[in-house]
Amino acid sequence: MEVEGNDEAAPNPQEAHSAEFHEGFDDALNAWVEVESDVGQLYYWNYRKMVSVVSLPQGEHLSWRARRCEGNYYYTACDTGQSCWTIKDMPSFDLTKCLANRTSGIKIEPGAALVLNGLVENSEFNNHVCTVTGFHLNRVVVMLPQCLGSECLAVRAEKLQPLPPGSIVEFTNLSQTNLNGEIATVEKYDPSQSRYHVRLRDGSVKSVTGIKVLPRSRCWDLDVGLSSPWLQWRKEQTCLFIDSEGNHRRYSVHLPLNFSQANKATKGKTQCAWPMIFYLHGSGGCSSFFTHSKKTLRSNGLQFAASHFVIVSPSCDWTWQETPRPWILELANTLRAAHWIDHRRIYLTGCSMGGMSTWEIAAARPDIFAAIAPVAGHHRPEREDGIARSIGDKPVFIVHSMHDETCPARLEEPLWNKLVEHGNRQMVINLAPAIDHCSMYERTYCDDTTLYSWLLSHRL
């Protein structure tokens, strides 16, 4: 028979054999396999590194394609076209036995709603909900929510857990059809029956198996299809984020200007992974990054930012005297799992109150951000040592005016000195002369591309 999507024939079971490695196949760079999951989604698995990703890493070589024949996977070598049932030295074990030995009461089957946890090399996916789509060798293939790109991952069974309390789900395939599509919240998981107890919006509680619910992302209405070829006034996408306590939060998203064209160029097989700027506004309002003023849209800085980054602007619901709300980090942690985001190039910046918040948020989770840029910021003096110790040697680009009377530079200098004391050698201090506090946004983000170029030079 012909294999859908290519011209290679499936192997005859009577002729199947273990393929010998070609010369140069002894390193993990040449152990990448393109796998088609049970739902037709492609992902890439390295059987020596034991990792799976949605896109083949840049500069690495695809060696095999895995497809199904009569329920079993077979492999086709990309360079010779030779097909086989197994690859020499590919690890294998009984997945059924692995699943049967689990003691947590979790039931792993196609369609089951679960959550990822305990991943080390791909830690950006931890605590993200997913749906089981099938199995491949010693891995369970799962799919993330659609708004994150419907990314498929192949993970060990022990990295999957029941949905925790508070998870948002949608009923599906119920015999009580009027409930299909209804939204509910997980109350608890009953391991003795492998069932979720979920609470509906009317307060009633229903017991269902894991295949009767679809896990929903907390990025509720994010639409990656909404992108524009040019920068427009007030055309950022305003979205809803539901935090871990069920509160509704608002944030704005601007996708890169050539986002759609870049995805079309890949013919839908993969998506470009874009760097992301997390921008925190000042206390003067809840303006997003591109709505500071209409006249700045044509500036070199904003045009560059609109073309090179995904820009996320949370609506900061705190004052300059308060600590930033925890949901900001929940939002950042959710978005970094999207496969159209480069999780190694997430940058945090903000102006005025947003500059203060940049220090605080970066200190709370320095592992998320590749670099930070506090602008005209101010913070509480008692936090200086803790911030400097937590941030450590994180790349920091500080922008401040020597004539800022609202947030005087002299009040921030002790923190800068503390960073040096704690060993930071990647701090850049950009002092602007004769500019008032209210003009620091234009000075930093609009006048030139200095900040953006500096950010792009850093990655986790």
Which tens digit of pLDDT belongs to each residue from 319-332?
Answer: 888 889 999 999 99
Identify which of 222, 427, 220 has the alpha carbon closest to the alpha carbon of residue 340. Answer: 222
Give the lowest-confidence range in 186-190, 282-286, 343-347, 413-417: 282-286
pLDDT band for position 271 (cuts 50, 70, 90): low
Question: Distance of CA 220 to CAs 146, 241, 335, Å?
Answer: 10, 6, 12
Q: Is the pLDDT of residue 2 over 80?
A: no
Candidates 3.40.50.1820, 3.30.70.100, 3.40.50.1110, 3.60.130.10; CATH matching 237-456: 3.40.50.1820
Q: What is the CA radius of gyration of the chain?
A: 25
| Residue 364 three-state SS | helix
- Of the candidate ranges 18-27, 30-39, 389-398, 443-452, the one whose mean pLDDT is the lowest: 18-27
The answer to whether residue 305 scores a pLDDT higher than 90 is yes
Greater confidence (392 vs 24) lies with 392
Task: Please check whether the domain covering 95-215 is classified as CATH 2.30.30.140.
Answer: yes
Domains of the chain, by residue range, sit at: 13-87, 95-215, 237-456
> Do 95-215 and 237-456 show the same overall fold?
no
pLDDT band at 1 (very low <50, low <70, confident <90, very high): very low
Residue with tokens 């209405």: 221
Which residues have CB under 8 Å from 248's CB, separation 6+? 240, 241, 242
The packing angle between helices 409-421 and 384-391, to 10°, is: 50
Q: Does 216 have pLDDT greater than 90?
A: yes
65-100 exposure pattern, b = at least 16 Cβ within 10 A, e = fewer: bbbbbeeebbbbbbeeebbbbebeebeeeebeeebe
What value does the mean pLDDT take over residues 376-403?
Answer: 91
* pLDDT over 60 (residue 11): no
> What is the percent of the chain where pLDDT is above 70?
85
pLDDT at 102 over 70: no
Q: Would you tell me the crossing angle of helices 353-364 and 327-335 to the nearest 10 degrees?
A: 70
Among the residues of 197-299, which ranges form H helices?
259-265
The mean pLDDT value of the chain amounts to: 83
Look at residue 217 in the predicted model and tell me its pLDDT: 93
